[in-house]
Structure 1
Amino acid sequence: MFPRHTAVPRHFRLSRFGTTAGGTGVPPSSGRIRIGPFARTVARIMSFAVFLLYVFLSFFRPIELFAPEMAEYRPMLVLWTLGFVLAASRAIVRKEIAARGIDFKLLFAFMVMLGVSLALNGWAGGAFTAMNDFTTSSMLFVLVALNVTSLRRLKLACAAVVLSMLVAALFGIQAYHTGQFAQQLVLRQTAPQHEDEDPSRAPPSAASEIPALDQTGWYLWRVRGQGFLNDPNDFSQVLVMCLPLLFVLWRQRAWLRNTLLIVAPGAVMMYAIVLSQSRGALLGVASLLFFIVRDWLGTTRTAILGGLAGVAFLGASAVGGRGFSSQEQSAGERIEAWAVGLELLKWRPIWGAGYGNFTDHHHLTAHNSFVLCFAELGLVGYFLWIGMIVLTFKSLSAAVETLPARSPHRQMVVLLRNSLVGFLVCAWFLSRTYQPVLYFLLALCVSAWWCASRAPGMTDKESPKYEKIHTIPWVRSTFIIMLLTIVAIRGFVFSHQLGRGG
């Protein structure tokens, strides 16, 4: 097997039981299988590579764009299954998973609540279907927790989603300007000022195959993605989530590098957000700017400046295609849906109207993730959902306050916390309570906290830092946020009704 005078590598030494890993010669009858370091390394790399590929293909979706006929073979399900088996095997061997017991308890209690809400509203047979619908989101959370167990892995996972969204943004922009893949990547909607008019009266040039050439104003052309991002609002919401993550690549005084790797991709994503014409995404971007400017000017000055900018922006939007006024038809319909959500909460305060039942009581969905949650799942489900968000946010904040200012772990925690804030601002205007992206982001945030809690200087159980980062008082804060969000919704509804003279 080896030359006569060549030293036999340790992993291939012979024993009386044959060639064995590590040269230990384990008897076949012992039932033990020893895997060498090289094999373990290959398995570990392969597991994470499959995970990164799954993340990239989940957000960009080239199969649906270039080879839709492959959909019948369920390639994403096959890839997820492979990734899960490999990651679970690794986690069992290493006894390592980047989440706490309370994170999983809240997640799976929430999933059970979906079924309970239907059972208590007279449809016990739909309970299993409801929980099965949520499996994609819950298992994506688990998949991230199994794989993202180090700072390096966390950065690579963030890079995978950012790169996939950058590619998706570039494809959307080219579709808008060239017409290639426009049917899949650009949504055509009738402009608000023409919604009540006969579509046959639209000028022939309005139906241009190249959206950018339509100057009639008859249609809104909105860039979007594929898969669960085929709605322009969802697409732009994930772009908002990705903007802070670009700064993982930031280096002091490296202007060329920062321009190429941060400024240029950020500009592409911002342009795609503009082309999506999502008002919620623009507010999400504004929330990110608030946190950036606050570090320079302080909270009070930033709030005053933001208020003035908001007034100016609302005034400017009055002459645009999609205004922010509650009296504009689309915005008004959303707030009317919020009013229905409040009525459902009064009607079924504990268990809600049932998962997926909002549209049984209103012709539109809630257009607000918070409203959809308390309307369909009641206060019990709302507590679990808000609890997941509050626990995650407070965990990140505890890490920020505890870690050294220049710690790379702290940098990741800050960036992911900003991503979470931007995402939730967008969620205020979208019904995305159960969608996978939220749980993917929550899992990344929990993994960031988990990595931070194991950073140098944070593992001494006698240290005050250890206690601060591990003791997260989230229950009281959850009840407060529940109350504040419901009061805020009521305030929006009251203001809208007052403006209508109702």
Structure 2
Amino acid sequence: MRAQHYMLLGLVPIIMVSAFLNGWGTGGIFQAERLFVSSIIPFFLYSVLINSPGRQRVLMWICIAAALGMVYNGHVQQSSFNGSYGAGIGGSITVGREEMRISYLGFFSDPNDLGMFLVMNMPFVAYFFARGGKLMKLLMLAVIVALGYGVYMTGSRGTLLGTVAVVGIYFLINNAGAKLILFAAFSAPIAATLIASFGGLSSSEASAAGRLDAWYDGIQMLIYNPVFGVGMGNFIDRHGIVAHNSYVHVASELGVLGYSLWGGALVMNMLVGYAILKQFNHYSEDESETEHADETLVEKYREEVLLNKVLFYSMIGFMVTAFFLSRQFTLLLFIFMGMQMASHFRLLKMRPSLLEMFSGKMVWRSMGYSWTVIVAVYITLKVGL
């Protein structure tokens, strides 16, 4: 077990204590149990059992196939839309009598969740495109077009921004320094929100002004209940709708303690992934040692680094879309976090020096960095309200 496991496990007692302090003890037990069973256990299983690149690739193919099935189903919904309903699995979500947003089953019944899944699959497609021959490249080009079409059909502005962000951050990381990357990551959500506030959102969602109001109320809940928050599930009771921001939602409901654990685990995964891209991207820091290393081991390490890169950008897709959606405890997050962490474990076995990225100092740093998102929200509120 690593720090991220303990951090997410730490959410369970905090959820119960937070609910008890807010007068809903039995509800806290129910919420904690649901999180443990439906999110934390899958995270543990994925992070431990995906112990080979082959298993990871199989899961990636399954995700791509599932995404294409959802896009096809969405196309059926779109083409059969009669002004109020579109045929297909899961039906459809309509806005007035003009706009139709595709949906599916389970936690994909919301177009935003479906769009998020499509965005997070795009780096998988890029991986197989880079490794394949001409036929595979043509196939993957067709797949990426299909996923883009699916994102369009969801009508989710958050997932559209996530798509743009994955591409933009890819080129930024490859061509810019760490300070510029940090500045862009901090300022981009602010700029995107302010731009959206001028153009407005689709009629099926809250307006941009309403979204800012939700963020404002969330920050106020955090200020007046700083340690344990207002209790998991209580944001809607107090505001009426979700926060439309996963980070604000967690901070307001679980306070400093809960958000630091949730955000810290997420950010730590990303910091480790970034360090592998930039610092641990070769089998050994010593070039002469690398030259004399077993070529098979070197190739295996390169493959693992590439898989880490793919999962890193998939999680970028989540982090950007989560800034505009309340999807803080979706199963999708914990599955992809588990796959990303499994990649880190495999690399750690090949490169023991990577262990420094899991130190106590890194845990505190990750928790601190996670609060930059809340600062970005605060600045957005100051400018936009």
* 2:165–2:317 CA contact under 8 A, matched in 1: yes
Task: Kindly indicate whether residue 93 of structure 2 is the aligned counterpart of residue 187 of structure 1.
Answer: yes
1:453 is paired with a residue of what secondary structure? helix
Superposed CA deviations along residues 23-74 of structure 1, whole A, max 9, x for unmatched, are: xxxxxxxxxxxxxxxxxxxxxxxxxxxxxxxxxxxxxxxxxxxxxxxxxxxx
Residue 148 of structure 1 aligns with which residue?
Answer: 50
Letter aligned with residue 235 of structure 2:
F
Task: Kindly indicate whether residue 251 of structure 2 is the aligned counterpart of residue 349 of structure 1.
Answer: no
* 1:345–1:352 CA contact under 8 A, matched in 2: yes
Taking a change above 3 Å as real, the CA distance of residues 251 and 369 of structure 1, as seen in their structure-2 partners, is: closer
* 1:186–1:224 CA contact under 8 A, matched in 2: yes
Question: What is the deviation of 1:402?
Answer: 0.9
2:313 to 410, 413, 418: 418
Superposed CA deviations along residues 333-353 of structure 1, whole A, max 9, x for unmatched, are: 111010100110111100100
Superposed CA deviations along residues 105-143 of structure 1, whole A, max 9, x for unmatched, are: 111111222212101212222232111221201121122
Residue 337 of structure 2 aligns with which residue?
Answer: 442
CA–CA distance in structure 1, aligned partners of residues 229 and 195 of structure 2: 35
Letter aligned with residue 67 of structure 2:
M
Superposed CA deviations along residues 367-392 of structure 1, whole A, max 9, x for unmatched, are: 11001101000000011101111221
CA–CA distance in structure 1, aligned partners of residues 98 and 77 of structure 2: 16
Letter aligned with residue 270 of structure 2:
F
> Which blocks of at least 5 consecutive residues in structure 1 are unaligned?
1-99, 191-217, 460-464, 498-502
Mapping for residues 98-247 of structure 1, pairs under 5 Å = 100-134=1-35, 135-179=37-81, 181-182=87-88, 184-190=90-96, 218-247=97-126
Taking a change above 3 Å as real, the CA distance of residues 153 and 253 of structure 1, as seen in their structure-2 partners, is: closer
2:202 to 319, 322, 338: 322
Q: Cα RMSD over matched residues?
A: 2.8
2:99 is paired with a residue of what secondary structure? strand
CA–CA distance in structure 1, aligned partners of residues 132 and 38 of structure 2: 42
Report the more deviating stretch, 387-396 or 345-354. 387-396
Residue 281 of structure 1 aligns with which residue?
Answer: 159
CA–CA distance in structure 2, aligned partners of residues 115 and 435 of structure 1: 19
* 1:398–1:468 CA contact under 8 A, matched in 2: no
1:181 is paired with a residue of what secondary structure? coil
Question: What is the deviation of 1:251?
Answer: 4.0
Residue 486 of structure 1 aligns with which residue?
Answer: 374
2:239 is paired with a residue of what secondary structure? coil
Question: What is the deviation of 1:472?
Answer: 7.2
CA–CA distance in structure 2, aligned partners of residues 445 and 373 of structure 1: 22
Question: What is the deviation of 1:282?
Answer: 1.0
* 1:141–1:439 CA contact under 8 A, matched in 2: yes
2:242 is paired with a residue of what secondary structure? coil
Letter aligned with residue 168 of structure 1:
M
1:429 is paired with a residue of what secondary structure? coil
Residue 291 of structure 2 aligns with which residue?
Answer: none
Taking a change above 3 Å as real, the CA distance of residues 253 and 350 of structure 1, as seen in their structure-2 partners, is: closer
> Which blocks of at least 5 consecutive residues in structure 2 are unaligned?
284-298
Task: Kindly indicate whether residue 193 of structure 2 is the aligned counterpart of residue 292 of structure 1.
Answer: no
Taking a change above 3 Å as real, the CA distance of residues 347 and 314 of structure 1, as seen in their structure-2 partners, is: closer
* 2:120–2:318 CA contact under 8 A, matched in 1: yes
Report the more deviating stretch, 328-337 or 468-477. 468-477
Letter aligned with residue 3 of structure 2:
I
CA–CA distance in structure 2, aligned partners of residues 398 and 335 of structure 1: 34
1:358 to 189, 213, 235: 235
CA–CA distance in structure 1, aligned partners of residues 232 and 134 of structure 2: 50
Taking a change above 3 Å as real, the CA distance of residues 385 and 254 of structure 1, as seen in their structure-2 partners, is: same
* 1:417–1:445 CA contact under 8 A, matched in 2: yes
Paired residue total:
352
Residue 256 of structure 2 aligns with which residue?
Answer: 379
Taking a change above 3 Å as real, the CA distance of residues 359 and 467 of structure 1, as seen in their structure-2 partners, is: closer
CA–CA distance in structure 2, aligned partners of residues 181 and 159 of structure 1: 27
1:474 is paired with a residue of what secondary structure? helix
CA–CA distance in structure 1, aligned partners of residues 123 and 167 of structure 2: 10
CA–CA distance in structure 1, aligned partners of residues 360 and 303 of structure 2: 22
* 1:284–1:426 CA contact under 8 A, matched in 2: yes
Q: Which runs of 4+ in 1 moved over 3 A?
A: 295-303, 320-323, 465-473
CA–CA distance in structure 2, aligned partners of residues 252 and 158 of structure 1: 14
Question: What is the deviation of 1:479?
Answer: 4.0
Give the TM-score of the pair, scaled to structure 1.
0.65
Residue 384 of structure 2 aligns with which residue?
Answer: 496
CA–CA distance in structure 1, aligned partners of residues 225 and 44 of structure 2: 31
Report the more deviating stretch, 343-352 or 486-495. 486-495
2:228 is paired with a residue of what secondary structure? coil
State, as a whole percentage, how many aligned pairs show the same letter.
Answer: 24
Give the TM-score of the pair, scaled to structure 2.
0.83
* 2:48–2:342 CA contact under 8 A, matched in 1: no
